[in-house]
Amino acid sequence: MNAAASAGDGLSLVHRFEPGSAARPPILLLHGTGGDEGDLLPLGARVAPGAALLSPRGPVLENGMPRFFRRLAEGVFDEADVIARAHQLADFVDGARTTYGLASPIALGFSNGANIAAAMLMLRPRVLAGAVLIRAMVPLQAPPEAALDGVPVLILSGMLDPIVPEENAARLARQLSERGARVTHEQLPVGHGLSQADLSIAADWLARERS
């Protein structure tokens, strides 16, 4: 099923929705800079076969490339916009759950998409059932307190990543753990791009979380 805000469904973001089995948690796919609502659908089908897939397009443009929030420079975020866009995305997810009859989704985000998912976990902790954060970094320097109460989170970092310093990814893992999330942080010998190892680890982790 294709769905878009312009189609009159009442949802705030252009998106794609692929129905799936109610026996699997739905997956919220959040693309990186320059991606769109179709970008991660093949990845979602591969790592979570049979799951419903909800994939919005980031509403912010940077030199014509969709993103989920504004940044001031590489690795320097407009934190006021991060907060506003995280709430916008959370509201979209709540609306999509009603429209499509979905349970709370697990977010699977890459780069900018992983960063907005991390922000949403700390700003709207009840929206997501879990998250796979690939090449995520700290989205808010002073995040609010949140009760994540055992929400499972997988962070996949690249030891050769030129964009996300190891310390920054480790700090994000600490922030989420301190707020009660059940965090698994894997550091892989890769750069910023997606790798086969990311897909294998994410698929195994999602399968365990379903069981």
pLDDT of residue 193: 96
Q: Which band of pLDDT confidence, cut at 50, 70 and 90, is reported for residue 210? A: confident
b/e per residue 92-106 (b: at least 16 CB within 10 A): bbeebbeebebebbb
Query: In the predicted model, is pLDDT for residue 4 greater than 50?
Result: no
Query: In the predicted model, is pLDDT for residue 6 greater than 50?
Result: no
pLDDT of residue 1: 45
Query: Domain residues of the chain, as ranges?
Result: 2-210
Choice among 111, 157, 185, 198 that is catalytic: 111
CATH code given to domain 2-210: 3.40.50.1820
Measured between alpha carbons, how far is 54 from 63 in angstroms, rounded to an integer? 25
Measured between alpha carbons, how far is 17 from 80 in angstroms, rounded to an integer? 29
* Predicted confidence (pLDDT) per residue in 100-119, tens digit: 999 999 999 999 999 999 99
pLDDT of residue 74: 81
pTM (2 decimals)? Answer: 0.94
Measured between alpha carbons, how far is 78 from 166 in angstroms, rounded to an integer? 21
Active site residue 111: yes
* Predicted confidence (pLDDT) per residue in 145-178, tens digit: 999 999 999 999 999 999 999 999 999 999 999 9
pLDDT of residue 151: 97
Q: How many CB atoms lie within 10 A of CB 58?
A: 26
* Predicted confidence (pLDDT) per residue in 19-67, tens digit: 999 999 999 999 999 999 999 999 999 999 999 999 999 999 999 999 9
183: which residues sit within 8 A by CB, 6+ positions away? 153, 154, 155, 173, 176, 177
Active site residue 157: no
Query: In the predicted model, is pLDDT for residue 5 greater than 70?
Result: no
Q: Which band of pLDDT confidence, cut at 50, 70 and 90, is reported for residue 211? A: low
Biggest alpha carbon–alpha carbon distance for the chain: 45
Q: Which band of pLDDT confidence, cut at 50, 70 and 90, is reported for residue 11? A: confident
pLDDT of residue 112: 97
Active site residue 87: no
Measured between alpha carbons, how far is 23 from 41 in angstroms, rounded to an integer? 19
pLDDT of residue 40: 97
Measured between alpha carbons, how far is 157 from 161 in angstroms, rounded to an integer? 8
- Measured CA to CA in angstroms, residue 134 lies from 65, 73, 91 at distances of 19, 20, 23
pLDDT of residue 155: 98
* Predicted confidence (pLDDT) per residue in 80-101, tens digit: 999 999 999 999 999 999 999 9
Amino acid at 98: T
